[in-house]
Structure 1
């Protein structure tokens, strides 16, 4: 899952959301240097990633892309799944997506001092280009994929993968819906253990 799903699955705890959001840049036990709620968010993020990568429905989605995008297929499907979460937001949340993302951006600003350096560096672009809200459209996903492809010096060819999103849209959406229900159930259990 990508940023939006990680944040959403964190529930209402502001610091847990931040920890889940910035976890990719935290290696090993470095997370122990953060406040407890952020530590929980980082551990939750790791659980979500492990569960996602092993889930048969997620793997089915990645297999559709693997021959063309190889080890980037999982990253691409993470973004596709965030698209379907954003597109179908009202199915999962009573809060408007635009308000939700603005609240999260403000939370990042309010807690700037405890963010990781990587998160501090990414934050201006995230907010300026409103990445989380842009996930609602295929065009928004395409822009994010192009930016990610640029970071790989175009080696990943991710910029072209929105074509597969369009071509197999119903299949990816159905897979997301099945997978996300399973993931939500597992996260509910995991949150009680953190």
Structure 2
């Protein structure tokens, strides 16, 4: 899952949201340097990534992008599934996507100086572009994939990826819906049963 899903799956806790948002940028046991709720979010982030890596529906979705993205097809699904969450947001939240994004942007700005340096570097653009809100549009997905290709080793097949989303929309929607039901339950149980690290 990408930023939007990680934040949504965190529940209402600001600390858990922050931890889940920065999870990719906190390696090994460095999570122990953060306050308890942020640590909880970092560990939840890791659980989400592991769950997705092992789930048959996310595997099936990734296969639709393997022809061009090969081993990076799983990375593409992180973004594609955020698209389906944003597109179907009203099904999962009583709060509008616009208001949710405003809320988390305010949280990031308020806690700016405790964010890892890499996050502080890209955060202004993430906020200014309203990237998470724009995940609902295919143009927003294409732009995100282009940005990722420009800053990582991900190959730039963004236009082709969007073509695959359009071509396989019904299948991807069904796969996302089934997967998201499972991961929501996993996160609920993790947060309910978490006793500290």
Bin the TM-score by the shorter chain.
over 0.9
Structure 1, unmatched stretches of 5+, are none
Please give the alpha-carbon distance, in whole angstroms, between the structure 1 residues aligned to 2:88 and 2:101.
15
- Cα offsets for 1:42-85 (capped at 9, x unmatched): 00000000001100001000112113201211111111110010
TM-score, normalised with respect to structure 1: 0.96
Does 2:19 align with 1:19?
Answer: yes
Cα RMSD (Å) of the superposition?
Answer: 1.1
Counterpart of 1:143 in structure 2 is 143
TM-score, normalised with respect to structure 2: 0.95
- Cα offsets for 1:138-178 (capped at 9, x unmatched): 1110110111111236x513423111111111111110001
Aligned residues: 193
Please give the alpha-carbon distance, in whole angstroms, between the structure 1 residues aligned to 2:8 and 2:187.
11
1:1-194 alignment, distance < 5 Å: 1-152=1-152, 156-159=155-158, 160-194=160-194
Q: CA deviation at 1:93?
A: 0.2
Structure 2, unmatched stretches of 5+, are none
- Cα offsets for 1:82-132 (capped at 9, x unmatched): 001001101000001001000100000111121111111111010011111
Contact 1:148 1:158 in 2 (8 A): no
- Local SS of the residue matching 1:161: helix
